Amino acid sequence: MAFLSNLDIAVSGMIAERARADVIAQNVANADTTRTANGGPYVRQNVIFTENRSYKRTRDTSLSAIEFRTIFGEKLLELRGLAGKNRSQTMEGVLLTQVVEDPTPPTPVYDPSHPDADEDGYYYLPNVDVAEEQIDMLAATQSYSANLTIFNSLKSLANKALTIGKSS
């Protein structure tokens, strides 16, 4: 069934965009964090995606560093008869390869009374631009939506193909 590989691509795209949205949400949530466990301000995170033309996946192997078990992924396994089995298949699609720190320096703010101020009276705000994060979230949402549309179209085509030759 050749259409199943196309479903894999759409599902992996949705999983990748969901991971991207979570990283963006984390960035926005920490936009004002001036002190982390490492001692400095929060550093903006970015995701890196790669094309994955062919990789092996077993039931328990994650698609990416940030795996999201979705109804779609579980349904695909069920449709293929792999649910609950330790069999592998070849899948194609998008792979989240890493989450990296943005190299942009933090913004210095002069306020000697701030608890995180250094000896010169400066404390540092994270390198997170909330407007930029909103634009990135919009792009992630639109990409997720496009993949969902493709998934639903392929599902509809598969259902119609199953009815070909069926007598009324």
Summarised one tens digit per residue, pLDDT across range 113-164 is 999 999 999 999 999 999 999 999 999 999 999 999 999 998 888 888 888 8
Q: Where are the domains of the chain?
A: 3-163
Task: Tell me the DSSP string of 120-136.
Answer: TSEEEE-S--HHHHHHH
Give the H or E element holding residue 108: strand 107-110
pLDDT at 158: 83
Cα torsion 70, 49, 133, 137: sign: negative
Kindly state the tokens that stand for 49: 């995606």
- Quickly state the pLDDT bin for 4 (edges 50, 70, 90): low
Which range in 55-64, 91-100, 124-133, 150-159 is most confidently predicted, on average pLDDT?
Answer: 124-133
Percent of the chain past pLDDT 70, that is, above it, reads 73
From start to end of the chain, where are the E strands? 45-58, 88-101, 107-110, 122-125
* pLDDT: which is higher, 132 or 3: 132
pTM comes to: 0.72
Question: Residue 112 — very low, low, confident or very high, per pLDDT cuts 50/70/90?
Answer: very high
